[in-house]
Amino acid sequence: MNEIRGWRTGFAPDGLYVAEVVAGELLANAVRHAGDGSASVTARLRGSRLRVEVHDRSSVVPRARSPRADAEDGRGLLIIEALADRHGIEQSGAGKSCWAELDLRAPVPVSKSATRLPLHRS
């Protein structure tokens, strides 16, 4: 995200913080669940829209789950869904890319599902 801050876009820090959380969740999922191999991160800015993609060599498609309230993990895709404007997965013969898009000029979104889920440890 330091690279994106260096683009001097003039976007509000909140948008960049949200982008940092989303990118971190995408990368953490790849590192934890994609198995052996490398992962790469790409960020592209078009106007005020930032697209973050994480590519890994696994063909396993991530699935959102409903973690127990006391679970220490299992919320990554739920966080991405709550914060990103759009997100998805593109599969290829070399693995998959999980991506998320954010409008850095828009207010930080909070979906209704995020307010109903146990996003903290008890």
The model's pLDDT over 74-116, given as tens digits with 9 standing for 90+, comes to 788 888 999 999 999 999 988 999 999 998 776 655 554 444 4
pLDDT grade for 8, boundaries at 50, 70 and 90: low
Domains of the chain and CATH, by start: 2-116 (3.30.565.10)
Query: ∠115-45-40 over CA atoms, to 5°?
Result: 80
| Residue 3 confidence (pLDDT) above 70 | no
* pLDDT band for position 9 (cuts 50, 70, 90): low
Q: Looking at residue 64, what is its pLDDT?
A: 77
pLDDT of 72 strictly over 80: no
Region of 63 on the Ramachandran plot (φ > 0 left; ψ -120 to 50 alpha; else beta): beta
Terminal CA-to-CA distance of the chain, rounded, Å?
30
Q: Does pLDDT of 2 surpass 50? A: yes
Name the strand (E) or helix (H) holding 8. none
Amino acid identity at 4: I
Edge-to-edge order in the sheet of strand 39-46 = 39-46, 49-56, 95-103, 86-92
Confidence of residue 122 (pLDDT cuts 50, 70, 90): very low
